[in-house]
Amino acid sequence: MINRKRLYGLTVLLVVAVVDWLLIMMGRYRLCPSIEGDSRAFCDEIYLRLVEPSIIILVGALAVYVINLFTPRAVFKAWGILSIVLLPILFFLLYIFDEHSFLGPDREQVAWLLSILYVVISIAIIAYKSWRIKS
């Protein structure tokens, strides 16, 4: 059974994804506000460092959230605590990642890795908590 609080959370996550997508479009078409006359540098900084790669993490979060809509309340609560702690850490790691190394991965590859890590940890928590409730 899906309750209202879970749907509100899904709505918030979808709104964040839409805002992220709008920021991607602003960066792609250079519609960012001007800071000291140089809007291109501001757009490139925000767009390349955080906005574009973060949509990959948000897609993973949305997928796990939809799966979690059909789990018992205790499982949802445990996953919610994990998400509150883990998502800011993932976004921070994505933002501080420096891609100027010669053979290192680029920012998109790191975003995919962090998203996969988040999904795997989330599914492990959901499976463990569901197993504990059933036994």
Residue 88 has a pLDDT of 85
CB-count burial class (<10 Å; 0-12, 13-18, 19+) for 61? buried
* Alpha-carbon gap, residue 107 to 67, rounded angstroms: 27
Q: Residue 46: count other Cβ atoms within 10 Å of its Cβ.
A: 15
For 58, the domain range is 4-134
Here the tokens at position 1 are 């059974």
Q: How confident is the model at residue 48 (pLDDT cuts 50, 70, 90)?
A: low
> Which residues contact residue 125 at a Cβ distance below 8 angstroms, ignoring those fewer than 6 apart?
78, 79, 82
> Does the reported pTM lie above 0.85?
no
Q: Look at the chain and report how many structural domains it folds into.
A: 1
Angle made by CA atoms 70, 51, 69, in degrees to the nearest 5: 5
- Higher pLDDT pick, 104 / 88: 88
- Higher pLDDT pick, 44 / 111: 111
